[in-house]
A and B are shown apart, each in its own frame.
Chain A
Amino acid sequence: MQARKLKDRLFTAFCIGSTLLALIPLGSMLYTIFVKGFSVISIDFLTKLPAPAGEPGGGFGNAIQGSFIVVGIASLIGIPLGIAAGMYLAEFPGSRVSRVVSFTADVLTGVPSIITGIFAYLVVVLKFGGFSALAGGVALATMMIPFIVRTTEEAMKLVPRELREASLALGAPRWRTTLEVVLSTARFGIITGVLLTIARIAGETAPLLFTAFSNRFWFDGVMQPVATLPVMIYTYAISPFEDWHAQAWGGALVLVAMILALNIGVKLAAGRRW
């Protein structure tokens, strides 16, 4: 009897311990990022070009700008395609095509991000003769599409069939029912999914290493290489210079702040159902 109780206690302790243990790295990360990052961040850091190696000062301005541009390009490609495909899966379910597409999209969410980098390298960088913001955008769009497809599908499937029927019973054709009733009813779910997907890809580094590459200057056209926040953080982190390490933490704070703000904001809003 005592042994059984003891086992139960140990088990409970193990479960609580696991949860606490998982919180330690998270706490440590957030703490370090905040403390080390905060001491670096300044207006200059957010708006200036990086200083040449060995010179003090400079900032991540071009990388912040570049991240917005590359994520923007990815969104322009990935969001419309993903939403349209997800719409198909939600509105025409049951067919073999739908099931295969839905399953494939699900599996594609597991493609290692570095692979989408190779893909964009082969289809954009090689064909257009160089690293470019466009190539980075294509790599990130490739990552984005499966997530947006699935999230749109799920949000639209939550729309009760009674609403579709109400619209059809008024004599609305199917396409208008989908675009005007189902899409508008599911819009918050879709927007939530899109924003979370953007938050997810905004921090991706691997797909950009040999697509967007990097650049010490400001953005100079979609067919030119461009600096991005994640790649810059990586480059600075593995550099041999102390002050670059410090700046890497500054970049990390900016990136994490943006991503967490997006994540938490979206989840709070979704919790209140907007």
Chain B
Amino acid sequence: MRSRVSSLPFFRGISPDTLFQIFLGSIAVLSVLVLAALLLRELIVGAMPALSAYGVEFLFSAEWNPVLSEFGALPFIYGTIVSSLLALLIGVPLSLGIAVFLTEIAPAKVRAVLSPVIELLAAIPSVIIGLWGIFVLAPFVREHIAPLLMEHLGFLPLFRGPAYGYSVLTAGIVLAIMITPIISSVSREALLAVPRLQKEGALALGATRFEAVTGVVLPYARGAIFGAVMLGLGRAIGETMAVTMVIGNSPQLFTSLLHPGYTMAAVIANEFTEATDDIYLAALIEIGLVLFAISMVVNIIARAITWRYLRVQGGS
């Protein structure tokens, strides 16, 4: 008893275990909750000049002309949304195909080799994917993919020429490549969480693999798969370097995916060090605030879903 309490005057009578808990708890609160609060606060304070100067108009104006102090975030919000949705459009079917292949079709050996290889893609830094995007993908899109799309779907405004290599389409493809590992690996977990009985029950009734997967497995796992898609969306929205390097960085409300666009993250990356006056900087920080808010909402939804469906309550 005597030796088990602190002898420091301030902490007299408090057991070391309580001190330990308080110490770790303070660090946890400080380095996570306070950090999150500080992040939000700094963004709001930093954006304040722009917030008060332009109000809500900021979000809906398409004029971005720093020289004239005209700041409207619409082209960036629009570009972010379109490129992210395009990434989902390409990436989600691909990811689900991979997830089904790795859980239901591939032999164990193939699976053991392929799944870490696909996750390797997630380890490659964004700037390097951007580098590859500039020198390999963008020329390929300009010379092969875009002409093909223009020839067959050119009647749609979405695929109207002229074709640029640095385009929303290229950005969408790059983003799809980047979100595929996360969506496929979380979906894979979701598929693995489907009780064997469910699937085997369907197969025992004479269903083909296609029927068992689409009729039983995917519907069972759809909640968690939706979470996986949201995680991918969150990543696409916030992705900076790879997009900045291939999207063309032109603040316009494009209609053709073959034309350049701009995203919120890209404009911050490009113009932050060039922001010569306070209002310009504040406008960029406000774009950061909007980006932060959107990606946090998407992430909270994603985490809430994946926690609900996939998180095993481990430990004590």
Contacts and interface: CB of A to CB of B under 8 A. Distances in A.
A7 B211 CA distance: 9
Contact of B235 (A12, A16, A110, A264): A110
Most buried by A among B104, B131, B316: B131
Interface in B91-122: 93-98, 100-102, 104-106, 114, 116-118, 120-121
A267 B122 CA distance: 14
A90 B31 contact: no
Contacts of B315: 90, 93, 156-159, 161
Interface string A13-42: 011111101110110110011000000000
Interface stretch (A44-52, A53-61, A114-122): A114-122
Interface stretch (B66-74, B143-151, B194-202, B300-308): B300-308
Nearest to A157: B315
B157 interface: no
Nearest to B126: A205
Contacts, number: 283
B130 interface: yes
A234 B208 contact: no
B43 interface: yes
A19 B104 CA distance: 13
B42 to A, nearest CB: 5
Given A22-B94, A173-B16, A173-B17, A234 B127 contact: yes
Contacts of B101: 15-16, 18-19
Contacts of A128: none
A175 B17 contact: yes
B240 A91 contact: no
Contacts of B137: 25
A76 interface: no
Nearest to A259: B123
A29 B184 CA distance: 20
A234 B245 contact: yes
B177 A25 contact: yes
A164 B316 CA distance: 10
Contacts of A8: 208-211
B11 to A, nearest CB: 13
A106 B303 contact: yes
A136 interface: no
Contacts of A103: 303, 307
Interface of A: 4-5, 7-8, 10-12, 14-19, 21-23, 25-26, 28-29, 32-33, 81-82, 84-85, 87-93, 97-98, 100-101, 103-108, 110-119, 121-123, 142, 145-146, 149, 154, 156-159, 161, 164, 173-175, 178, 199-200, 202-206, 209-210, 213, 230, 233-234, 237-238, 245, 248-249, 252, 255-256, 259-260, 263-264, 267
